[in-house]
Amino acid sequence: MDIYATLFEVLDTRSFSNMWYWIGLAILWSTASHFVLGVPFDLALKAKRQGGERMQDLEDMVRINTGRLLNIAEVSGLMLTALAATVITLLGVTGFFYGVEFSQAVFLMLFPMSFVGALNIRTAQNIASHAPTGEALISVLRRHRFFVQLIGMVSIFVTAMWGMYQNIVTGPLGG
């Protein structure tokens, strides 16, 4: 058995036919929908059920993470937006104009996450301005999670369709 052949078979650079890409995509969206504004969503469910100290912990964590997000957006938001737009544009051009499959794959992961980032900042601004507590805060977090999951479902569907198309076009050996 040739070690190099085995290694290159496992580390295939054709992203859409690589199992590791799909595992990474699933982990990306699973993590994005589980951590709502950086707070694990199961903490919100426990706070709703048990109330009291758990609810106070949830409110404190949301307040801290909201402050962090808004501070990052205020201090370096313009620079991060420019950098993200540059990277996403480069990936889009090299991927779809020049046909680099790896760029297509990374673009299909990062582009939808830019919407999640914008949604995070919008929700953080909403929480900072209205200061919801208790059930109202959990409702805001639940609505935010729903939209993140909706973006994720659309993203996974589009990525799967594009990936199947790429696998059909390139064939089993990358032809």
Model confidence over 103-116: pLDDT tens digits? 999 999 999 999 99
Do residues 158 and 96 lie in contact, with contact meaning Cβ atoms separated by under 8 Å? no
Sequence-distant (6+) residues with CB within 8 A of 156 are 25, 29
Q: Give pTM, 2 decimals.
A: 0.85
Other Cβ atoms closer than 10 A to 77 = 14
Task: Give the model confidence (pLDDT) of 11-59 as tens digits.
Answer: 555 778 888 889 999 999 999 999 999 999 999 999 989 888 999 999 9
Residue partners of 121: CB distance under 8 A and separation at least 6: 69, 70, 73, 77
